[in-house]
Structure 1
């Protein structure tokens, strides 16, 4: 049992090296344990000084150097999805990008491969990942700071988005069902919905572990989605719903 716990906590720290924050519900599903087990793990890791607990999850310890999230070990699946996504947006001039682990990997890939574009985001981690490319203009969406996501949320953010236009919006949902994409945090879901309304084309990025996963808030239906970039064939019911609404499937 001790060995299993050490391995599980090691996986949590590895994930934290590639993301600004972690959510209890998502970790529990990925590691196939209860949310209570994850909370105990996070409490122990907090006591060890390697992370800080937040409501619903955890963030890197405050003494972590800025930018270290991008110097740690990357998750191969997220890198693969990010590369496949950036291949679809070569003609972009203005991008909207959401928050989360996958969004950060997309931002890193954009910084490496694109230039002379504008990216609008509510994620501080996405903005930091883009910072290495000085040809990219980054616009931060105002709002209330959400520590767990290192992002802005709330009414100010939504009102600000109403005046914008983008060629593409890129979002990483918590889960995907036949009814559409969803997110574990209603605050983030509200921003995702507002972003979707301001872009000509919408791209969702999700690994196959998110298929048929249902979280608190659905932020769109499949009719609002143009493309899904993923690493596996969706289950039949989900695939049929996507096909019915002509969602393009990109397998990384």
Structure 2
């Protein structure tokens, strides 16, 4: 008697037509990779077993996918899954050449917030350097505590601005000071506002590629009545090695584009005000 092609084979294997249909239903590798990256944009970590179920593939297939994405630098392969890749800070000279209009718009907005007689703490970085430039051009009778040579030089062009420079160990590539002496200097002051940048910002808070620089920014935030983070949209959902501060310690994010997704939700939950500067 002939076997019905629509019924399962007695040996447990699917009939040829069913196998072909199953193959057609499977996602291509390109689509799987796209979905893995998209899921990491919504969640900082993923488990391989959950991805295998969600994408209807074997554990071996998902492990190959994760390894390929890791080798391409698109994800970080972890034990049992994957995480977002860490952001690496480009050289400061290179960072100064990008997002100039966006950073100047951010700096202009921050400058307009500052009142005479205020005391500021200003972190190092490409965006905060633009803040220093705008403060020097537009503001008067303020005191700025900084550890950044370029920012101090820019501020020094305005004779009404008092610049207090922190002690510490020089980071030659970045042109600022860091280490225990820098933090001790910061802890000797109180300020109205801290203005700091970041290598990346995510739902958990602000990140820096250098943990010692991150510790300096965290100290500035702790010693100030108000904390302002300045970051362009290119920093959104970027992670780095050190988390400096969580959003519940940040009063305001000044950026050039409205955050969305998990980042926007985290900012709302923490009560962090978002100010969007138009470039």
Task: Determine the structure 2 residue equivalent to 1:177.
Answer: 202
1 CA distance for matches of 2:252 and 2:116?
Answer: 15
Shift, 1:220, TM fit: 0.2
Q: Who wins on radius of gyration, i.e. which is larger?
A: 2
Judge conservation of contact 1:154–1:187 (CA < 8 Å) in 2.
yes
Per-residue CA deviations over 1:180-205 (Å, capped at 9, x if unaligned) read 00011111101011111100000001
Aligned residues: 190
Task: Determine the structure 1 residue equivalent to 2:161.
Answer: 136
**Runs of 4+ displaced beyond 4 Å:** 56-60
Match of 1:152 among 168, 174, 177: 177
Task: Determine the structure 2 residue equivalent to 1:165.
Answer: 190
Task: Determine the structure 1 residue equivalent to 2:229.
Answer: 204
Match of 1:108 among 119, 126, 133: 133
Match of 1:219 among 209, 232, 244: 244
RMSD (Å), alpha carbons: 2.1
TM-score when normalising by structure 2: 0.64
Per-residue CA deviations over 1:147-170 (Å, capped at 9, x if unaligned) read 111001000111121121000000
1 CA distance for matches of 2:179 and 2:264?
Answer: 33
TM-score when normalising by structure 1: 0.71
Judge conservation of contact 1:161–1:194 (CA < 8 Å) in 2.
yes
Shift, 1:80, TM fit: 0.6
1 CA distance for matches of 2:276 and 2:124?
Answer: 22
Shift, 1:89, TM fit: 2.1
2 CA distance for matches of 1:164 and 1:115?
Answer: 20
Task: Determine the structure 2 residue equivalent to 1:243.
Answer: 268
Q: What SS does structure 2 have at the residue aligned with 1:87?
A: helix
Judge conservation of contact 2:248–2:270 (CA < 8 Å) in 1.
yes
Structure 2 unmatched ranges of 5 or more? 1-71, 74-88
Q: What SS does structure 2 have at the residue aligned with 1:219?
A: strand
Shift, 1:59, TM fit: 6.2
The answer to whether the aligner puts 1:191 opposite 2:191 as a matched pair is no
